[in-house]
Structure 1
Amino acid sequence: MDIPLRWRLSLLDCGLRVRGVQNLPWNKPLRNASIVGSCNGLLCLEIHQFNQLSLWNPKTRAVRHVPRTGTDFSYFNYCVTGFGFSPIVNDYKIVRTFALFYDGVTQVEVFSLNRGTWKAKYIGNLKGVILKSETVTANGAIFWSGVKLVDEKEGEDNIDFQEDEDYIEEAEDKVDVIVSFDIAKAVFSVIPRPELDYDADVKLTVYENKLAILCDTWEDDDEIPCMIDLWVLYEGTCASGQTWSWIKRYTSSPLLCLLVPMTIWRNEIVYKPISEEHDYKGRRNVLYMTNLTTNEVKRSVIPYHESILSIYNYVESLVSVGNNYIEES
């Protein structure tokens, strides 16, 4: 993801009105930052320019700067972070995975908001798994997309690694997977993606508090995706003996233009156009929304001048970030 010259954060309310976020917990403009996740009114932010993770409640203006891990970042090529909450242990946790390009995940550390400390975790069955940076949280677990490198038993790799995220796409022997981290049990699971009989780009999201994926379906020699499928992950032993099963819950009508699914908000899939739209005043932000019940499509012009890079669901709350510092008004 390209980081803009100045990182901005805004709220889009139910009426699709843009609201500025007041009392940001940093005095200086952020030029290299990203949102790791949003959960119960807390945002986990990664401030790359300061190499800092922070938990922030925009409603209460409280922020907690997370201590750095003891891991030497210079030893690793890749770090992927996730954030979530488990009602079972009533705790928010941040998970950081560290990887070498040729080895997949080799080290994991978990921060507990209740304890206020990091703890190393056994990687378990993450050997040979490469995680992508996109993450969501649902039902007490954190999820990532990833790939499982296969055919390693001979000790040979038929993979042309590159020094950036594109190396994932270059892997010849790989299987697309979903990785979950059960926050209460502190256990990783590798879950197969649904078996699709078509080429698809996949976006992680949450539907009915369950992990879901939005799949762009394409036809041969077509320059725009035809439809969007919604697959939902259900837990429970099924006939095949697997403890996870995918069910397709929705297929959209054919799309009229090239749209990128961003998230599910309430009962609607939110998209943005892959190409910027313009009018006589210049560039404008446009979002499309498809109702999952009625299949109705709405197009809305968003009065926001910056490019929309990502969208996160957020609900105001009074959840505490623990030992915190509140900015002065």
Structure 2
Amino acid sequence: MATSDNSGAFLEDLANEILLNLPVKSLLRFKCVCKKWCALIEDPKFTIEHLNCSKKKPPQFLIYDYGAPQDAPPVTVIFDNGIPSPSQGDNSQRFGAIKTLLGSVDGLFFLEREIDKGSLCSLWNPATREVRHLPAATIEFQPFDDSGRHFGFGLDPMTKDYKVIYHYLRDECATVYSCSRDSWKIFKHDVNYNYRDCERNVLYNNTYLNGSYYWLLTEDRTWKIISFDFGKEMFVEIKGPPDDYYIDVWSANLILFDDSVAILNFLEGRVIDVWVMIHPGVWNKFVTFNWFEPIEICYESSLILVTKDSRLLSYNVKTKNTKLLEFRLPGTSSTDPEIGGSGIYYYKESLVTIKRQGNCKLDLNDCLTKMVAGY
């Protein structure tokens, strides 16, 4: 009897291990096999374990074609060699009038779209196709507009709550949205800067890391970082590279480099310096190299560049190895959602749900629809 029990436990563990390594597309279909598998796949512990497994796999990139024709899917997911991922299927989700697209954080993206001359903010999981529309937000000091406003999206690592920060450089206020609260909270801050200089020079290549969102800005030729801590829900000022070091206000990029916040500074003669923040306010010039194509994204210690004929190119800053990816998409040389082109995002698919509470029950009709659609 004990042997039978051990055998049953072994088979159950084996099935669990197999499921953990399957793509989200397959798991959504397997939820309809039986109630036991549905409960397992919807278990938050399984979601976390699956996400951890996904993070160990080779990198993926999600490419959103803002100008894709109506008969073509706007989303393409590729591996780091440029080959399309077989798990993406026909992702025909389309979002019009995108003004802001941030992510991914645990496979989730933040979207801001223009709807009837207003803004609609949403969270989106491309793998599960879930979309969660955020309630409308107003700020006492300024309405939503395009002048000096900035978004950030991230995770509170303590509560595992996904949040969105929205702020104006010209006001002493900001508002933060919490998925658990399902509401915006307005608060004042005491970040000290001259908004006129900052508004002109804030770089839109901002970034998220370990519970904080970062913006690079300048004031009176002094560079600094403004970060927002999603756990404490407060802004923090961080000193930038040495005051005597010149950073080009219009071309420097704030990036992630080997799990550290870093600055790509473009110099004359196609030369780039990489400054890595070792500790808050402590910077080290890591490497200097020559660049040759527009840089789209940085992941780990590599850069993704786009050639003049819209081919993607990977360049490892440490090893100096170059790899031409087997992918081409017209428009990759432009990454502004408002003028078309395509955005390239480092991506790990996940089962993380963004449904509101009370909407997570198994729906047989939904299962059958997903099975017919290939999900």
TM bucket (normalised to shorter chain) is 0.7 to 0.9
CA shift in 2, pair 1:121/1:217, >3 Å:
same
2:137 corresponds to 1:98: no
The structure with higher relative contact order (CA 8 Å, sep 6+) is: 2
Asked if the contact 2:81–2:326 (Cα under 8 Å) also holds between the matched residues in 1, the reply is no
CA shift in 2, pair 1:250/1:86, >3 Å:
farther
Aligned to 1:295: 320
Written as runs of structure 1 = structure 2, the 5 A alignment for 1:1-329 is: 5=67, 8-18=74-84, 22-26=90-94, 30-49=96-115, 51-71=119-139, 73=143, 77-99=147-169, 104-129=170-195, 130=198, 131-148=202-219, 173-195=220-242, 197-200=245-248, 201-218=251-268, 224-226=269-271, 228-235=272-279, 243-252=280-289, 254-255=290-291, 257=292, 259-273=293-307, 277=308, 284-300=309-325, 302-308=327-333, 309=335, 310-323=343-356, 329=370
Q: Deviations over 1:280-325 (max 9, x none)?
A: xxxx312332223321122346221333423221101111113188
Distance 2:145 2:344 in 1: 32
Deviation at 1:110, TM superposition (A): 0.3
Percent identity reads 24
The structure with the largest strand share of the pair is 1
CA shift in 2, pair 1:269/1:4, >3 Å:
closer
Distance 1:98 1:182 in 2: 16
CA shift in 2, pair 1:57/1:75, >3 Å:
closer
Distance 1:42 1:183 in 2: 16
Distance 1:6 1:91 in 2: 33
Deviation at 1:5, TM superposition (A): 4.9
Distance 1:293 1:268 in 2: 8
CA shift in 2, pair 1:84/1:75, >3 Å:
closer
CA shift in 2, pair 1:49/1:245, >3 Å:
same
Distance 1:83 1:116 in 2: 15
What amino acid maps onto 2:330 in structure 1?
H
Structure 1: tracts of 5 or more residues without a match: 149-172, 219-223, 236-242, 278-283
CA shift in 2, pair 1:22/1:146, >3 Å:
farther
Asked if the contact 1:33–1:46 (Cα under 8 Å) also holds between the matched residues in 2, the reply is yes
Deviation at 1:96, TM superposition (A): 0.5
The structure with the largest helix share of the pair is 2
* CA-atom RMSD in angstroms: 2.9
Deviation at 1:66, TM superposition (A): 0.8
Aligned to 1:169: none
Deviation at 1:106, TM superposition (A): 3.4
Moved more, 122-131 or 134-143: 122-131
What amino acid maps onto 2:252 in structure 1?
V
CA shift in 2, pair 1:132/1:213, >3 Å:
closer
Aligned to 1:156: none
Asked if the contact 2:311–2:329 (Cα under 8 Å) also holds between the matched residues in 1, the reply is no
Distance 2:246 2:218 in 1: 18
Deviation at 1:146, TM superposition (A): 2.0
Q: Which has the larger radius of gyration?
A: 2
